[in-house]
Amino acid sequence: MLDFLAEFFWYLGDFIVIALFNGLSRRWNRKQEWFGVVIKNKRRRGRSWEKYRYVVVFRKDNGRRKRLRMDQWQASFYKSGWRYHKKKGEDLPDYNSGMEYFG
């Protein structure tokens, strides 16, 4: 019984640490502001119960890539080759700011 409780609290601690890092990374991403062009809009292979199965890859103006996970409804707004603006305080780029990019 003691082994079961020890293992339970071990996994519970792992879950708390993962949730903490996930929350901190989302908070960090909310503070950023950037412009980027959509390179890929693809469906991830994997578990069928995952909420965020789609990945949209952006190339930011500084040349770095940014991968954002989202659901199918959100991913349908982003078109390959279009440029979008991610504003401070928001999780995803504004899909109304999209325009074709010829550069």
Q: How far apart are CA 57 and CA 68, in angstroms?
A: 6
Q: Where are the domains of the chain?
A: 1-31, 33-103
pTM higher than the cut 0.85: no
Instruction: Give the pLDDT score at 30.
Output: 84
Count of C-beta atoms within a 10 Å radius of residue 87: 13
Q: How far apart are CA 83 and CA 61, in angstroms?
A: 10
Q: Output the tens digit of pLDDT for each of the chain's 103 residues.
A: 767 666 776 776 666 656 555 555 666 678 889 999 999 998 877 666 666 688 999 999 999 999 998 888 899 999 999 999 999 988 889 888 877 766 5
Instruction: Give the pLDDT score at 9.
Output: 65
Instruction: Give the pLDDT score at 53.
Output: 82
CA distances from 70 to 41, 78, 84, 94, 99 (A): 10, 11, 16, 13, 20
